[in-house]
Each structure stands twice: as C-alpha cells, then as structure tokens.
Structure 1
Amino acid sequence: MKYKILNSDDYPQLEAMQTGIENDYVERIFHRLTSGNHRLYGLFLDNQMISMGGYSIFEERYAMLGRLRSDRRFRGNNYATKLIAHIINEAFQVNGIKWVGANTQEENKPARRVVEKLELTPLATLHGAVTKDLSSLESKAKPWNRITSHERKKQWLKEVYIRRTAIFPYEVYYSFPATKDLFKDEEVQKWSFYENATQNRVLITKYDQKKNHYLHAVYPWSDITSQSGLWETISNDYHELKEQTGADTYIWMDLTKEEVQLLPKNHNFELPSPWMLYGIDKVNYCKLK
C-alpha cells in the first residue's frame, strides 16, 4: 500500500476505478484538480488506485478536503480513512495552512464517518437554498441602503464574523471560520454591502459561478422573515445580475435548519440535504498527533 500525489497522467487510474458514480464531475475536471491550488492523492495497492481524495487551498490559509472516491471492490477496509488522514497531514505541511476542513451532505453517512473518525469537529449545518423567485417573501418594502465605504464594510466583517470566528459562506459550497485572511481587500471591494434603516443589520451579496451563475446572498442573522426590505434588496441585485448572465442564474443562500423552518409554506427555495461543515485548526491537530 502506498500514497501518491496525482498528476494529469494518472487519469487512466481514475477511469479504472469502479466508484459507482455516473457522470462524475471529477472525471471532467481531473486535470484542473491536479494543478494550481488543488491537489489530488491516490492510495495504491499493487499499482492499482483503490481510493482517491484531495484538497483545495483558499486564501493561502484554508484547505478544504474533497473529491473522495473509492473503488467498490475494496470498500470496508478503512482505506478511505487512511487516505484522508494522509491528506490532512500533507495539507498541514503546506506553508501557511492553519485550518483543514471537509464539507459533506448530511445524508452522506459514509463520508461523515470518515471525517468523524479523524476527529474533525462539526462546525455548521447549512442548507444550500436555491431559487429564482423571491416573490412569496417580498412585501414591496423599501430596499436597504448600499454601503459605499470600504472601511464600513470591513467594520461589519470584523464585528459580525472575525471577532466571533463565525462561519462565513465564502463561496457557494465553501464556508470557513472567519479570520482577517479570508477578507482580502480586492475581494471585499467586489462584494455589495447593504444596511437596514436602523443600521443594526447587514446583507452581503456577491457573484459566484460553479456550473451555474449565482447571486450569493449572505445574511448572518436568523430574523430573515421579519426584516423589512431584506428580500427586496436581494431580489434587486439578482435581477441586475441576471440581465448580465442570462437564464441559468440563481439566488443561493446558506440557511440553517432553524431558518428554513421560518420560511412560509409557499416559499420557492429548493432545499437539498444540508451540508455539514467539519474542521480542525493546526494547533488542535498537532495536539492529536
């Protein structure tokens, strides 16, 4: 049994695995996942790859695990756990990496068992709520006021996220414990910030693209149904973005289970199985070794 960091020439090894996954996106972007800020590793038995996984680096500080694939003919032997343990150790050897995490859907019990065996701590459970229509939530209220001051934006991020090390939805599918490293000035300048009339609430909207185009709306409180003008503000930004990007454009919000329960019955959000974020920082990881 041996571990190997993969490169584009190892694609036939992935093709030979019997993962049971049809139309696997990892196969389509394999070459990209072996370069840049991405790494893939394989676990080999007699020169045959039996498990694969990797990580992506965000803002030179965070490493997010993912792309775990196992050959069905070799399951039940703890190989995936051994591989992920190796990958976590490799990630923490990268200069600057202070935190390693994993994001898996709540219904994916095999993946959850792997990260829990490795003592990654559960940090948040969030629905990736997606919609094209907020009309059932709007009340024709006045939209919130746009924040133009970069210093005011940074003040909000510090107060709401950094001081609390709160979980921040940095991208669609990718949330992290907030530190100042997560909020680079050039990125924050691209995001839109809005305050309510009493200036005690903030909304952040930003553009993201995965398979589709998204207006990623970030709201760090649970009073989503009682804040007048919140949904109108999101809807305005969504329609503005859609004019630029076209039909395959959606609103994405990361909502807790409690927030989902507050939504009216006629809401138009699609709510797949929630994502569970796990993680461990370098200090605690070193204590476990």
Structure 2
Amino acid sequence: MNKSIRVLQSNDYAYLEAMETGIEDDYIPRIFDKLTTGNNRLYGLFLEGQLVSMGGCSIYAGSYAMLGRLRSDRRFRGNHFGFELMSHVMNEVIKLDGIKWIGANTQEENIPARRVVDKLGLVPYAKLHGAVTKDTSLLESGAKRWTPIESNERKKAWLQEVYVKPTTIFPYECYYPFPASEDLFQGVDLEKWCFFENEEKSRVLITKYDQKKNHYLHTVYPWDDMISQEGLWETIANEYHKLLEQCEGDTYIWMDLTKEEANKLPDGHSFELSSPWILYGKEIENS
C-alpha cells in the first residue's frame, strides 16, 4: 500500500475535488488558495495517489497554532487516517520556531473530530457558543451609547487588565478563541479594533470586523452582565448598522457566549445558538 503525507499547494485543488466528504456547501474549496499560503498550511494523506484525508493549521500572533480543516473521504473512513494525518501536522507545527500553544476548536456534536483531538493529547479549555444575530432590538432600551476609546495606550491597558491573566480566553477571531497572553496582543492593529467604555469606565466592549463565509461584527464583552449593562446593546447595534453600510452580502453580529451567558438571554431573543464549540489545546515547551 503506497501511502504518503505531504504539504498541499494551490495546484492540488483537483485532488480535493475528487474527494467524497459528504459535506454540503463546504467553505474549504472556496478558499483553498488562501489555506495553502501565508500563515496557513494544508496537508494531505495520499493512498495510491488519491487524497483520502486532509487537514492543516493556521498560525496566529506568531506563537499560537490552531489545527483544523480535517476532511476525510468517506469511502476510506474507519482506517484512522484522520488521526494519522493530524498527528503528523501537529508534529510538524511543534517544530516551527516560536510556537508556544497548539490547539483545535471543534463543535460539541462533532464526535469523530473530538476523538481525534483527544487522541492527540489536547485538553479542553472552554466551551463557547458562536451566537449570531441581525437584530438586537429586544436587548436595547434607548440608553446612551458608550464612549469610543481613541487612545491605543488605553486600549492596551484594557487588554492587559481584563485578559492577560491565567485561564482567560480571548475571542481573537470568529471560530478562533485562544488562551490570552501578552504574545496574543503583540502586533495587533489596535486602529482596526474599536473599544468603548461605559460612563463609569468600569466596563469595556471591543468590536472588530471579521469575514469567514459571511461578514461579521465580532463583539467581545468579557463580563456576564451583558443583559443589564445600559447602553451596551445600543453601542453594538450602532456599530453593526455602520458595518451593514460597508458590506455586500449577509452580515451578522457575532458574540462568543458560555452556556451560562446564553441562558441569560431573554425569551424571544433572535440569536442563533448552534452546537457549542469546544476549544482544546496545550502549551508547547522549549519552543
């Protein structure tokens, strides 16, 4: 049996097309070129010249590696090719200079992927709903919007105060939360992230633009009192409507919520709460 694993290039797209993954409207074919360049890598496991399993990683902030994009040809499932491939990917990533943390983020209902992640030795960090909506009117009361923060030093101070501490998870992008550290925020373009303070300067809201399949106003609020904070949702709604004017296509508000936070949403809320995502990972020593 002729079996091999190698890095995929953009001209390997035909191998992906020949796979039978059973996934409808998969996003990977649409951005295959992007996933094989820059800080992204894709690997393929080939059997007799046929691509039977594919997966990869993305590097964030120079020291965080997120495994993912595991796809297997259903005609070859049951042979543990997915684990074999991702084990190879993880070993390759660990060899890269500067990597301090490696992880994976998979939905709770995706049992096959969770089995692979468990066998890789990654441990659960957090479980979060990627809650999306186009309408926050039920949460608004007409209160005054929060004040924008213009100073990058003030923005850095908020990140330091709220996130740079043990066990804190920061939603860096949609689908990509990470354990927060100073490394995560080095090089961040704070001009592109909007920060807002409440009147008492005791709370901060961060909003940033993200695009995966759709456009998102990615909102980050690190406390569990989001329902009772006057002006919070008016601020989010205002930023969302500004983004709507700039984007063509489906545009949503995205907020990462724990189960407890999701349960606090009022009856009749418009958030779509899909199966929660479980963040797995581990720190890499001597990198």
TM-score (norm 1): 0.93
Name the residue aligned to 1:96.
Answer: 98
| Structure 1 residue 165: Cα displacement | 4.9
Instruction: Trace 1:100-119 onto structure 2 (pairs within 5 A).
Output: 100-119=102-121
Cα contact 1:167–1:177 (8 A) shared by 2 = yes
Matched residues in 1 for 2:69 and 2:165: separation? 32
CA distance change for structure 1 residues 28 and 190 in 2, over 3 Å: closer, same or farther?
closer
| Corresponding residue number in structure 2 for 1:136 | 138
For residue 167 of structure 1, what is the amino acid of its counterpart?
Answer: I
> Per the alignment, do residues 216 and 46 of structure 1 end up closer, same or farther by CA in structure 2, a change over 3 Å counting?
same
The AA in structure 2 aligned to 1:50 is V
Aligned to 1:38: 40
What corresponds to 1:52 in structure 2?
Answer: 54
In structure 2, the partner of 1:158 is 160
Aligned to 1:162, the other structure's residue is in SS state coil
Q: After the TM superposition, list the runs of 4 or more consecutive aligned residues in structure 1 that deviate by more than 3 angstroms.
A: none
Contact map agreement 2:129 2:258 (CA 8 A) in 1:
yes
Aligned to 2:190: 188
Give the aligned partner of residue 254 of structure 2: 252
The CA deviation at 1:226 is: 1.3
- 1:279 maps to 281
Q: How does 1:149-228 map to 2 (within 5 A)?
A: 149-184=151-186, 187-228=189-230
Give the Å deviation of 1:29.
Answer: 2.1
Structure with more helix by fraction: 1
User: How big is the shift at 1:156?
Assistant: 0.9
> How far, CA to CA, are the matches of 1:98 and 1:185 in structure 2?
16
CA contact (8 A) 1:161 1:178 kept: yes
Shift of 1:185: 5.0
Give secondary structure in 1 for the equivalent of 2:138.
coil
Q: 1:105, 1:275 within 8 Å by CA — same for their partners in 2?
A: yes
RMSD of aligned residue pairs (Cα, Å): 1.7
Q: Corresponding residue for 2:14?
A: 12
Q: Return 5+ residue gaps in structure 1 as ranges.
A: none
The alpha-carbon distance between structure 1 residues 186 and 281, as it changes in their structure 2 partners (threshold 3 A), is closer
1:80 deviates by 0.8
Scaled by the length of structure 2, the TM-score of the pair is 0.94
In 1: Cα distance, 2:226 partner to 2:252 partner: 18
In the TM superposition, residue 260 of structure 1 has moved relative to its aligned partner by 0.7
What is the rounded CA distance, in whole Å, between the counterparts of 1:243 and 1:29 in structure 2? 25
Once residues 124 and 134 of structure 1 are traced to their aligned partners in structure 2, the CA distance between those partners, rounded to angstroms, is 25
Contact kept, 8 Å, 2:27 with 2:213, in 1: the verdict is no
- Counterpart CA distance in 2 for 1:227 and 1:119 is 40
> What is the aligned partner in structure 2 of residue 80 from structure 1?
82
Q: Is the 8 A contact 1:101 1:279 kept in 2?
A: yes
SS in 1 for 2:139: coil
Displacement of 1:256 after TM fit?
Answer: 0.8
Conserved 8 A contact 1:165-1:179 = no
Identity of aligned residues (%): 64
1:241 maps to 2:243: yes
Contact 1:64 1:100 in 2 (8 A): yes
1:73 Cα deviation after fit: 2.0
Deviations 1:11-59 (A, max 9, x none): 2222222212233222222222212211111112222222111011112
Q: Secondary structure of 1:87's partner?
A: helix
| Distance verdict in 2 for CA 1:240–1:17, change over 3 Å | closer
- Whole-angstrom distance in 2 between the partners of 1:202 and 1:33: 33
